[in-house]
Each structure stands twice: as C-alpha cells, then as structure tokens.
C-alpha cells in the first residue's frame, strides 16, 4: 500500500512524524505493507518551487492508495498569483475528496467542556467542494468581490449533485451506526441554497427508510449540541456550517486536538488533522498529535473497507484503542490536556500501547 505524505506547515511535520511512528508499529503487527513517498507543500514548497502546491503533486496523488496531509497555514500564504495556493481546498476540489468526515466522542476519563453526565458519539459529514468558500464556487476567479471600497459581496454555490452525494454518504454511515441523520441548514433564510440542500437530503432519505431523518437550523444545532449531544448520530451539512459545528463538537468532546478527520472521495481518501497549523508552537515538541493519529486510523479503516482488507480495519481498531489507553493516564497526556508528554513521546507511547494490545 503506497501512501503519499505531505507534512505541511507549522506543527504538521511533527504530528505526522508521530503518526508515522504509530503506523509503523501497526504495520509491523498487522502486516499492512505500507510504503511512503514524501512531497513538500506549503511554505517549504513555496521556498523551493515558488508555489505552495505544485501541479505534479496533485497529478500523482490519485496513483496512491491513500494520502496523509499535514496542517497548512493558508491564511498566511501570499496571494494566489504569487504562488499562495490553498492546499486543502485544492486537494478537496481537484481530487474530488468531497466528504469531510469528522467524528467526535467523549471519553469519560478526560476532563472536558461537556457538562457533567453528558456524552457524545457522533459524526459530522461535511460537504467540502462548494458552499460559501470563495476559492471553490466559481468557474473562473474568486467568489468574493467588492463593487466599491465600502461594499463586499460573496457568492455561494450549492448543487444538487454535491448535496445528494454527501447526503447518501451520511445515510450509508448512519446504517452502520444508530440509524439517525440530522440535516443542518438555514433554509428559513437561504430559501434557494439551503432549500435545495434540504430537498436533496429528503429525497435521498427515501432510499433509507430504516434511518430516522431530522433537520435543525444551524444556529439551533449549536444549542442542541451543548444541551443534548447524546441525541445526535450522523449530522450532514454544507461546507461552512459543517466546518463550524465540527469544531464545536470536537471541543465539547474534550479538545479540538482530539478530532480525527478524513477527506474522502469515491476512490481516494486523505487523512488530515481537524485543527490548524499552530505556528506559535512549531518545532517545540509541544503539539498534541492525537487528531493526526486518529485521522490516519480513519484512513486505514477507509482502505480496509474499500479494498476489502480486514487487517487494515483491525489496525485502525488497535490504534483507536491505544490512543484511548494512553489518554486515560494523566501522566501520558500532552500539555494541552494537562500532561507533560511531548509530541514525539506521545506517538511512541501510542505505538507501545498497540504492541501491548
């Protein structure tokens, strides 16, 4: 299994290195046969090649069995005409990795922002190739404009094709879980765009009569996530809403640093941590690699399910179990969770926990 690894910016190289340590142990035990190729992206690529993402990296990405993408500092990149391309957006749009899958669950042994007695085990299925994001909703050019220096406009794109396929992935996932889907929208204000999205979700729901469908306004969903997170199973949302509520859910579960994430298409999957690049702590061994480790675990599970390889699913189970085992001990947590362990040591401790089983 050939994996393309792009370390990225900020803490990206550190959390990916820790994740590769974990994968190495899983590979040894479960005979995964992983082979890695590395490519620079972000500022490292900009310095060497004059662009944050070379076209040849995207061209060869589909030839791999899986992708691992580090964190990116795209807000700090120069303008696109000066080489500052949004790497995550390019991966999602040009490789059609349209499903950004973001699970969140509480761990009872971790102190979190969740109110006492509340629990969470949900997955947010976020459409990732259109929506309010101005770099992916026009055939040419940018989806924001300024008719005058005192007025700014933004264009939003919602299509039936993208809405239906993300809805179908959400219902397929719900069939494997608690058979509940909640559609997140604001159709009371965005009658056409969110109205179309909601129509598509309801149409797809007819194909899954066993799944209970509910819908919530996006503002109300934030209150319900805080008040009664245990009621949710799979939430399906357009790009912008999904981005916001997934950060909320991850933080409620204990920390944004605990949120695994993959960007998946029909034939290719990319692991990428849910959080940002945190340049203020890069190269200090302070980063929490849990999100990246859980993301590569999700990638292994995706490969196992789509390539009919049970050993990859077993490896993903073992990684998830090992992460929980390490987090359960206050002495082996990273500093953001009240512990003293560095990024490298945490990854090695998870690898050791896989060995112990």
Distance CA 16, CA 282 (A): 13
Q: Where are the alpha helices (DSSP H) in the chain?
A: 12-30, 42-49, 55-60, 87-94, 160-175, 193-205, 218-227, 239-252, 290-306, 310-327, 343-356
The end-to-end CA distance of the chain, in Å, is: 23
Distance CA 107, CA 319 (A): 15
Q: Quick one: DSSP state of residue 336?
A: G
Residue 314's Cα: distance from chain center in Å?
21
Write phi, then psi, for 300 (nearest 5 degrees).
Answer: -60, -40
Tell me which residues are annotated as active site: 133, 186, 219, 243, 247
Residue 235, H or E segment: strand 234-237
Q: Which two tokens stand for residue 6?
A: 């792009």
68 in Cβ contact with 16 (< 8 Å):
yes
Rg of the Cα atoms in the chain: 20
């Amino acid at each position: 299994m050939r994996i393309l690894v792009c370390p990225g910016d900020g803490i990206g190289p550190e959390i990916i290195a820790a994740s590769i340590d974990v994968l190495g142990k899983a590979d040894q035990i479960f005979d995964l046969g992983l082979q890695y190729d590395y490519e620079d992206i972000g500022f490292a690529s900009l310095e060497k090649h004059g662009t944050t993402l070379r076209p040849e990296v995207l061209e060869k990405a589909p030839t791999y069995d899986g992708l691992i993408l580090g964190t990116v500092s795209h807000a700090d990149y120069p303008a696109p005409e000066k080489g500052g391309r949004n790497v995550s957006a390019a991966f999602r749009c040009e490789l059609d990795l349209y499903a950004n899958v973001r699970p969140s669950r509480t761990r009872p042994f971790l102190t979190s922002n969740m109110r006492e007695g509340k629990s969470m085990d949900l997955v947010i299925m976020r459409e990732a190739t259109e929506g309010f994001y101005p770099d992916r909703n026009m055939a040419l050019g940018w989806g924001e404009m300024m008719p005058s220096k005192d007025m700014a406009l933004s264009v939003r794109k919602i299509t039936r094709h993208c809405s239906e396929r993300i809805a179908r992935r959400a219902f397929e996932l719900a069939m494997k879980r608690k058979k509940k889907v909640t559609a997140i929208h604001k159709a009371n204000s965005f009658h056409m765009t969110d109205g179309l999205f909601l129509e598509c979700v309801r149409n797809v729901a007819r194909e899954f009569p066993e799944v209970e469908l509910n819908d919530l306004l996006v503002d109300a969903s934030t209150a319900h996530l805080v008040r009664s997170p245990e009621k949710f199973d799979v939430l399906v949302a357009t790009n912008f809403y999904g981005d916001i509520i997934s950060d909320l859910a991850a933080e409620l579960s204990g920390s944004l640093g605990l949120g695994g994430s993959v960007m998946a298409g029909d034939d290719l999957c990319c692991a990428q941590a849910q959080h940002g690049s945190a340049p203020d702590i890069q190269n200090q061994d302070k980063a929490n690699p849990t999100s990246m480790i859980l993301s590569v675990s999700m990638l292994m599970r995706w490969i196992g399910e789509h390539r009919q390889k049970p050993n990859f699913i077993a490896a993903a189970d073992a990684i998830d179990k090992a992460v929980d085992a390490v987090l359960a001990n206050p002495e082996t947590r990273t500093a953001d969770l009240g512990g003293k362990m560095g990024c490298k040591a945490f990854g090695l401790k998870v690898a050791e926990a896989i060995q112990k089983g």
